[in-house]
Amino acid sequence: MTSRLFSTPPFRSVLLVEDEAAHVRLLSRAIRPMIVDLKSVGTGAEALAAIEQSGLDLLICDLNLPDISGMEVIAQVSREHPELAILVLTSSSRLDDVVAAVNAGAWDYIVKNFTPSFPQHLDVVLKRLAQRKLQLETQLRLQEERNAFWVAAHTASDGLAIVNENAEVIFSNHTFDAFVTQVSSGEKTNVVGSNVVDLISRYDSQLAQGLIQRIAANDLSILWSSELSVTLEMNEEKETRYFEITLAGAPSHGLYSGANIRSGSRSKVLWVRDVTSRKERERRQRDILSTTTHDLKGPLGAILTGSQLLDYIPEIGDHGRELTTRIASCARKCITLIDELLSANRIQDGVLILRPHKYVLADILEDVMLDFEPVSKAQGVALMCTDCPKDLEVYADKIALMRVIANLVSNAVKFTSKGGRVSVFAESNPREVRISVEDTGTGVDSARRQVLFERYSRLERHSEVEGTGLGLYVVKNIMDAHGGRIEVSSEVGAGATFVVCLPHEAPK
């Protein structure tokens, strides 16, 4: 029988086992105000059958029954239904009878002396039983939760360990044990009691240092994650495996009490996930993407160049020029998308290489403006470059800087309505060169500016505009690599201005 919480009245369904009719009437009269449903039987056999057929909250059983003793009934019910409250009825106040009944499984007893105070006495006993039942059900529920936790922990595909403030393992599941054995080069290690930071420091001392600092911190809200790469000897060959390490705060009570965590300890939960397959899958996807985009870029460049050359043929006419402008615009959008994907892959792989030199900034801006002239014309947006000194030089990787400016101009044109304007200008001060791209477009909500430069980040209200969400992520990383920065100022509905700032010399 499944235990369940009772409500007022404290017991809803009660079975009375009493063979004397007069006593049944007296007991029924006393107990009915305190229950919902009362059933009565006169023998032990009937009682056992009734218990199996319907759920009960309380069994009230006389010790003297005509077929089997009430003690036997109590013992059997207690074994098979330990959550069922049992109240013994006895005609005597002999302590031996009471002790025997309690040892058999009874929760409490009441003497059948039907005086005027009997209902009050019965009410006190039932309330006492109700409190005990509530405590038992709470304990059973907590035990079920603990059991579920331990089953989930031990069968989890991720490694799980609980560590104390000294980074010593005080609980670990089977997957974590396998992880420890793996990174210990197959050495047999007693995981519980071992120091997880010492183990990780064999491969990454900086990660280990960051981990011990966070483990020692008295902060239960902590959530920290990093990645560990481990090169192992596998069948006389070296193999690199990658593990995602996540640390979270843990309470010092509740479900974790089974791990012998002493009260007040600053324990932490450590998760380990083998992400080698995912890393390999992502690498293959990047390789395919890189190869495909490289192969696409050549034909798209030819399409763009051809469409631009067609503009110079007099016989093409206005309608033809409109078509070539659209072709050039589409080709430029595709090339920009490819550049974003390739740059994002290089950044993620840590192979974004810059070769900065001194360049005349006006020449770079002119090249970008010419590239985006068909796009802006097709969009109906005025694109202009003003206030750039002809002798202003910038120290940068030319291709990378062109990608930065192209991305900002592409975004400005994309989010500016027909009839709007995009302006590019540059200036210099003693510390840096500042290149600004200003538009009269939709603008950016100030509350969302902090996510603009995150990978794949796109504003919800711009979801209908095509794009990958990689452009500004690439821009920021290129600027960081130059030792520069990017600034943004904007108001919703009033356009936006993005400013890239480059130091005059290489960062030291």
Percent of the chain scored above 90 by pLDDT?
A: 17
- In CATH, what number is assigned to the domain containing residue 140? 3.40.50.2300
**Amino acid of residue 168:** E
Cα 322 to chain centroid distance, Å, stands at: 50
Both 115 and 137 in a single domain? yes
User: Over the stretch 314-363, which tens digit does the pLDDT of each residue have?
Assistant: 777 777 777 777 777 777 767 766 766 666 666 666 656 778 889 999 99
Domain boundary among 151, 169, 203: 151
How do residues 351-408 score in pLDDT, each as one tens digit? 567 788 899 999 999 988 988 888 888 889 999 988 788 889 999 988 889 889 988 9
Please give the mean pLDDT across all residues of the chain: 80
Listed range (85-94, 224-233, 305-314, 459-468) with the worst mean pLDDT: 459-468
Which residue has better confidence, 190 or 332? 190
pLDDT tens-digit series, residues 278-298: 888 777 766 766 676 666 666
What secondary structure does DSSP assign to 332-376, as a single string? HHHHHHHHHHHHHHHHHHT------EEEEHHHHHHHHHHHHHHHH
Q: Could you tell me if 333 and 458 lie in one domain?
A: yes
Is 260 a domain residue?
A: yes
For residue 205, give its domain range. 156-274
Which of these three, 151, 172, 190, is where a domain ends?
151
Q: Alpha helix locations (H) across 256-316? A: 276-310
Is the predicted pLDDT of residue 494 greater than 60, yes or no? Answer: yes
Within a domain: 1 = no
Q: List alpha helices for 41-173, DSSP H.
A: 44-53, 70-80, 95-104, 118-155
Q: Is residue 435 part of a domain?
A: yes
Q: Which of the residue ranges 74-83, 355-364, 474-483 would you say has the lowest mean pLDDT?
A: 474-483
Q: For residue 281, what pLDDT is reported?
A: 79
Q: What is the pTM of this model?
A: 0.45
Q: Are residues 418 and 457 in contact, defined by beta-carbon separation less than 8 angstroms?
A: no
Q: Same structural domain for residues 429 and 492?
A: yes
Tokens of 317: 């006419």
| Angle value at C-alpha 42, between 39 and 45, nearest 5 degrees | 95
Do 164 and 89 share a domain, yes or no?
no
Q: Are residues 132 and 191 in the same domain?
A: no
The answer on pLDDT for 117 being more than 80 is yes
Q: Are residues 447 and 495 in the same domain?
A: yes
- The pLDDT of residue 469 is 62
pLDDT in tens, 35-49: 778 899 999 999 998
Q: Percent of the chain scored above 70 by pLDDT?
A: 80
H-helix or E-strand containing 239?
Answer: strand 237-249
| Residue carrying structure tokens 């491969």 | 203
Q: What is the pLDDT of residues 46-71, one digit of tens each?
A: 999 888 877 788 999 998 899 998 89
